[in-house]
A and B are shown apart, each in its own frame.
Chain A
């Protein structure tokens, strides 16, 4: 009936009413359908993101487990290959004491055993220091980094220097260790892959941000390479760096210097995050 009324000539009110109502109804239904479909689309996108993040987490976890295993293997090898034979030799010397009654030979073998035990103590100390550098624990990040760089420079293969501009207040011990491990990993990578002739580390703070920047003149990687390596199954050390920095809510940037001569690696931490972590503990 309404349609008949609308189609009759001269009924402009009816026409407006008819098309207005139909139009509004269509718009409303369209809006509702759009909302429902848009929401499903957003959910799909979020799910995809979540899955990608889970994959990334899995990769990082695998990397950290593998690294832990490698570290254990290294310690096991050090103990087995170095400390084991040394102690066995010392045992042999002491055994000889039991069967040999000659005083001079006994003294000689005791002296030899003592020498071997001293070497073993030194070896175990070295292993222990590689696990937790005493300089870091006692004197902080600045001293530990300086120590590390002095050792590198001392080897003569590379010129390594560091400068801490604003490190009056030490970070929390656990966080210092994490940052030190990251620096160690980066320096290791530079030593292994870059063929650089120098490394220079600078530390700075700006507002509530804490920066550590490494410069070197060898072959390096950019942020794109870093992201690609992080998503792939290779680049164990880099994944380890990222998982360590994730604990501190820190960021890392790989880039080439403005002059295109040097590679820069910047670690950025928020000091407030550090305080929050401290409070949580």
Chain B
């Protein structure tokens, strides 16, 4: 968030504000979580955050995609996921403090969306340096985080308190990694090198 504000000029366009708000909500959720002691409240907080997280990241990828079909798939995924997640939220916690179903389906959907983005970049003839794009680093962060925590989210419902405390650092580690990658994306200059002619873009490749 600090980097976003510091390099506001570089991040003003291209839907990066979505990621900024996502970081803000993530930060607030983590801080509110410390003051909540009842598992029921924690469940609602996490479930609410999962929905917000899904909506923000989906919106970012939606804005980054050019292919109409992929955009429609993202919209459809959102329309299917949100009601299920909200019903799950209203249905209650069953004593658990983590909504495993919503979080794991969110992870799967966001991994698929990230692959959509990478596929589009791969097929886009105008993209020369995929890693010179700010969006790539954001999507990379999303992909790495959700791929690494997918199994943790799936298993979270069946974990005991001790196991949870034992494995939750996986989430924290990849959360830090995700934030580092977001920071890289926010710091990066808006590069024209990502879209340029082959001759000037790749003098080293012969």
The digit string for B150-182, where 1 denotes a CB below 8 A from any CB of A, is 111011001100010011011000000000000
Closest to A24 in B: B147
CB distance from B89 to the nearest CB of A (A): 25
Q: A38-B122, A43-B205 are in contact. Are A16 and B148 (CB under 8 A)?
A: no
Task: Say yes or no: is B94 at the interface (Cβ < 8 Å to chain A).
Answer: no
What 0/1 pattern do residues 134 to 158 of B give for CB contact below 8 A with A? Answer: 0000001001100111111011001
A47's partner among B148, B159, B163, B202 (CB-CB below 8 A) is: B202
Complexed CA–CA distance, A39 and B119 (Å)? 11
Q: Taking A5-B166, A25-B148, A27-B147 as contacts, is the C-beta distance between A16 and B155 under 8 angstroms?
A: yes
Q: Are A13 and B147 in contact (CB under 8 A)?
A: no
- The minimal Cβ–Cβ distance linking B130 to chain A, given in whole angstroms, is 6
In the docked arrangement, what's the CA distance between A256 and B127, Å?
Answer: 44
Bound together, the chains give a CA A251 to CA B97 distance in angstroms of: 70
| Interface bracket on A | 20 to 34
- Taking the complex as formed, is B131 at the interface, i.e. its CB lies under 8 A from any CB of chain A? yes
| Cβ distance B61 to chain A, nearest Cβ, rounded Å | 16
Whether B150 and A2, one on each chain, are in contact in the complex, defined by CB atoms closer than 8 angstroms, is no
CA distance A38 to B122 in the complex (A): 8
A39 touches B147 (CB 8 A): no
Chain B interface helix/strand/loop/mixed:
helix
Tell me, rounded to whole Å, the shortest Cβ–Cβ distance linking B113 to chain A.
Answer: 14
Verify if B115 is at the interface (C-beta below 8 Å from A). Answer: yes
Partner of A40, one of B148, B149, B152, B205: B205
Are A24 and B150 CB-contacts (below 8 A) given A13-B155, A38-B122? Answer: yes
Determine which of B122, B127, B151 lies in contact with A21 in the assembled complex, contact meaning CB atoms within 8 Å.
B151
Whether the pair A21, B205 counts as a contact (CB closer than 8 A) is no
Once the chains are docked, how many angstroms separate the CA of A32 from the CA of B111?
13
Q: In the bound complex, what is the Cα–Cα distance between A16 and B152 (angstroms)?
A: 9
| Docked pose: A1 CA to B130 CA in angstroms | 37
A44→B204 CA distance, assembly (Å): 10
Nearest A residue to B143 via CB reads A28
Residues on A with C-beta less than 8 A from B158 are 13
Contact present for A17 and B205 (CB under 8 Å): no
B152/A17 in contact, CB under 8 A: yes
Complex Cα spacing A21 to B154, Å = 11
Q: In the docked arrangement, what's the CA distance between A24 and B131, Å?
A: 21
Name which residue of chain B comes closest to A23, CB basis: B151
When C-beta atoms are compared, the residue in chain A nearest to B144 turns out to be: A28
**Any B CB within 8 A of the CB of A131:** no
- A9-28: CB near B (< 8 Å → 1, else 0) gives 00001101100110011011
Question: What CA separation (Å) do A17 and B150 show in the bound complex?
Answer: 9
Closest to B201 in A: A43
The 10 nearest A-B residue pairs measured at CB? A20-B151, A24-B147, A28-B147, A17-B155, A21-B151, A25-B148, A17-B151, A44-B205, A47-B198, A43-B202
Report which B residues bind A (CB closer than 8 A).
115, 118, 121-122, 125, 127-128, 130-131, 140, 143-144, 147-152, 154-155, 158-159, 163, 166-167, 169-170, 198-199, 201-202, 205-206
* Chain A residues with a Cβ under 8 A of chain B: 1-2, 5, 13-14, 16-17, 20-21, 24-25, 27-28, 31-32, 35-36, 38-40, 43-44, 46-47, 50
